[in-house]
Amino acid sequence: MGEPIHATVGCTFATDEAAIAALRALGDAGLVTQWRVGATDDGRAEKIARTVGGTADLDPADPLSGVSGVASGAGASSGVNSGATIGGILGAVAGVACGYTPVASILPVDPSARSFAAALLFFAIGASVGGVLGGALGKQPSTHAGFRLIDAMEDGSVAAVGSINVSDADDVRRLLESNAASDIVMIAKEGG
């Protein structure tokens, strides 16, 4: 059998004690080996991370940054940009082609400018549709996937993110829920 498929789990805790208890329970059970901890108070995150053997390197503004399966920073907008570019180019080509057909006669321009007007119109439509589809079909932005973690940290909670085997996901969720975790997010990694 191949290597296990990994996922990332993220969650928040209202109190430091709950965070420490849950992270230790998962570590003792062998379900998560390394935790990344974050909070708006760096000292608080450092104390919890040190207690559970993790690191305090989660960015409160983007706790899932760098996680496989989601896009961070400029990568988050690349799907929209690529889709708009491809859609615009295809639209312009289709517009030029349609500019020489009776379809272009519906455009209220001089007949000699119909091809150009159709290319502009189809370019705008293609770029708009391509951008929407590129955003919808591209990778989810990490800030969107982790918005509950971000909101909870802004409200004073502490967040933790760790790597797990997908086969352990139900056990991890149960252990987290029984240890006062909230805002639980799981993201499967691409390619195992």
In the chain, pLDDT over 70 holds for what percent of residues?
85
In the chain, pLDDT over 90 holds for what percent of residues?
14
In this structure, is residue 118 part of a structural domain? yes
Instruction: Provide the pLDDT for residue 93.
Output: 92
In this structure, is residue 170 part of a structural domain? yes
Residues whose CB is less than 8 angstroms from the CB of residue 139 and which lie 6 or more positions away in sequence, other chains included: 69, 70, 71, 75, 76, 79
Task: Identify the weakest region by mean pLDDT among 22-36, 41-55, 66-80, 89-103.
Answer: 66-80
> How do residues 112-167 score in pLDDT, each as one tens digit?
888 899 999 999 999 999 888 887 777 666 566 677 888 888 888 899 888 888 88
* 3-class SS of residue 62: coil
Instruction: Provide the pLDDT for residue 72.
Output: 65
* 3-class SS of residue 109: coil
Q: Does 151 lie in the same domain as 134?
A: no
In this structure, is residue 102 part of a structural domain? yes
Instruction: Provide the pLDDT for residue 113.
Output: 87
| H/E stretch holding 141 | strand 140-141
Calculate mean pLDDT across residues 7-20.
Answer: 89
pLDDT(1) > 60:
no
Q: CA–CA separation, 124 vs 166, rounded Å?
A: 43
- Number of separate domains in the chain: 2
CATH number at residue 21: 3.40.462.40
Q: In terms of pLDDT, which residue wins out, 72 or 132? A: 132
Q: Does 131 lie in the same domain as 111?
A: yes
In this structure, is residue 180 part of a structural domain? yes
- Upper half-sphere CA count for residue 152 (Cβ side, 13 Å): 21
Calculate mean pLDDT across residues 39-45.
Answer: 89
In this structure, is residue 182 part of a structural domain? yes
Q: CA–CA separation, 39 vs 55, rounded Å?
A: 12
Q: Does 80 lie in the same domain as 134?
A: yes
Q: CA–CA separation, 64 vs 46, rounded Å?
A: 18
Q: Does 83 lie in the same domain as 49?
A: no
In this structure, is residue 1 part of a structural domain? no
Q: What is the pTM of this model?
A: 0.65
- Which domain covers residue 182, as residue numbers? 6-59+145-188
Q: Does 98 lie in the same domain as 47?
A: no
Q: Does 131 lie in the same domain as 78?
A: yes
In this structure, is residue 176 part of a structural domain? yes
Instruction: Provide the pLDDT for residue 192.
Output: 46
Instruction: Provide the pLDDT for residue 47.
Output: 92
Q: Does 78 lie in the same domain as 45?
A: no
Q: Does 101 lie in the same domain as 132?
A: yes
In this structure, is residue 65 part of a structural domain? no
Q: Does 76 lie in the same domain as 33?
A: no
